[in-house]
Amino acid sequence: MNSLAHANPVGSLLASETINATKMTLWLIENKLAMKRSQGIGSIENTNKRIVIRIDTDAGISGYGEAAPWPVFSGTTENTWNTLSNYFWPLLKGQNVFDIPKTIKRLKQTVVGNSEARAAIEMALYDIVGKASGLPIYQLLGGKVRDSIPFSFSLANPDLEADLRLAKSMYEEGSRIFKIKTGFVPDHRDDVKRVAKIRSTLPDDVDLRIDYNQGLQAFGAVAKLKEMEQFGLTFIEQPLKATDLEGMAELTRRIDTPILADESVFDPYAAMTGVQKRIGDAFSIKIMKSGGFVDAQKIAAIAEIANIPCYGGTLFEGAIALNAGAHLIAATENISLGCEFYMPKYVFSPEELEAEVNIVNGTVIPPSGAGLGLAIDEDVLGRTAVNTMSL
């Protein structure tokens, strides 16, 4: 079924005080991957699973959301599917979609964790409210502070030569920021060689960052990161285990290159602790970690008070979640270090895209239409789904 079947003239229901959720459809999507993606805590290859949802209402307006958990990072698609269908939908069915804060509070009180499932629900509700009001989500989040977002691509292919070919091609398209995944090779010297090769191959105006994804042992970490500083890095992301806050703080004090905390900062409470312990010079914000726009903006605000800038990170989301992230960054001044919203365009198969991320001359352009501002191709969802459910 094409998504246009669920369209409604945007803005026509602005005066309505109540629009109730009537139905939810879930698609478990399995996308083919163009290359292996390796990180310090694990790899994905061949295919990747994620969940897309559509919430319908009694006003004829539908909203879309997406959940993209990763087992070694946050959870499984099976758990997220079960949470959405058996726990969250019974709470949401028949409820007013405008009551987003009340709804999210109830979801948090019902199931611990499951930030990706909450993010999918909140995303879909904001999509509906945006369509009903005729406003893009970034306006609902406070208004646009930037028209475009610097785009970063993560070099994570164990085949370094293939990554270099792709990076040179992307440079010609306007990309100037590349983040190198480190910590998955057998030895630190191999990481140094990889980063040195990339630095010497790409033009001098390329902004390089590295990301260990918790892949570095605390023992000897200071010396290893000092050696990496020779490459003129913008930041070094999450070298140590997410729970090693003292170690992260020690690296922040002793390394000149800014340390960026990712896995150590999932929610506003972790952000407050991170500020108090100064576990990084910057934080990575992901909608999949925070559980949605509202808590993501809380993290950004906490960080801003402490003069800690933020970065728009990603897991392995598709265009729905990544465009939601673009709306978030467009409306949040302190997420100022760019974003890495590359999966649909550069990693998924082109024929498997239900929507696209607009990347132009090295920047991501947030959609300007009402709600998410996306036309979702449900025919593609149907082709790529390995399971569907309507509730």
- Domain-by-domain residue ranges, the chain? 3-135+376-390, 139-364
**Looking at the predicted structure, is the pLDDT value of residue 334 above 80?**
yes
Question: Could you tell me which CATH class the domain 3-135+376-390 is placed in?
Answer: alpha beta
Mean pLDDT of 224-236: 98
The CB density around residue 111, as the number of other CB atoms within 10 Å, is: 17
Task: List helix spans (H) across the chain.
Answer: 77-82, 89-92, 100-110, 115-133, 137-140, 160-172, 188-201, 221-228, 245-254, 268-277, 287-290, 293-305, 319-330, 343-346, 378-384
The pLDDT assigned to 5 comes to 39
The pLDDT assigned to 9 comes to 44
The pLDDT assigned to 315 comes to 87
**Looking at the predicted structure, is the pLDDT value of residue 14 above 80?**
no
Specify the 3-state DSSP secondary structure of 243. Answer: coil
pLDDT band for 77, please (50, 70, 90 cuts): very high
Summarize pLDDT for 134-144 with one digit per residue, the tens.
999 999 999 99
With tokens 């593609």, the residue in question is: 380
Give yes or no on whether 3-135+376-390 and 139-364 have one common fold.
no
Higher pLDDT, 70 or 177: 177
**Could you tell me what percent of the chain has a pLDDT over 70?**
96
Mean pLDDT of 326-346: 98
**Looking at the predicted structure, is the pLDDT value of residue 7 above 60?**
no
pLDDT band for 16, please (50, 70, 90 cuts): low
pTM above 0.85, yes or no: yes
pLDDT band for 3, please (50, 70, 90 cuts): very low
The pLDDT assigned to 15 comes to 52
Mean pLDDT of 366-375: 98
Mean pLDDT of 280-286: 98
Are the CB atoms for 3 and 61 separated by under 8 Å? no
Per the prediction, the chain carries an average pLDDT of 95
pLDDT band for 2, please (50, 70, 90 cuts): very low
Q: Give domain 139-364's CATH number out of 3.30.420.480, 3.40.50.300, 3.20.20.120, 1.20.1260.10.
A: 3.20.20.120
Mean pLDDT of 18-22: 96
Mean pLDDT of 319-331: 98
Mean pLDDT of 356-370: 98
The pLDDT assigned to 17 comes to 76
Q: How do strand 42-44 and strand 363-364 relate by DSSP bridges?
A: unpaired
Q: Which residues 6+ apart lie within 8 Å of 373 measured at CB?
A: 130, 136, 137, 323, 366, 367
Least confident interval from 3-12, 56-65, 196-205, 305-314:
3-12
pLDDT band for 72, please (50, 70, 90 cuts): confident
Residue 140: both structure tokens together: 């609902």
The pLDDT assigned to 120 comes to 98
Are the CB atoms for 109 and 84 separated by under 8 Å? no
The pLDDT assigned to 74 comes to 84
The pLDDT assigned to 73 comes to 86
**Looking at the predicted structure, is the pLDDT value of residue 372 above 60?**
yes
The pLDDT assigned to 6 comes to 46
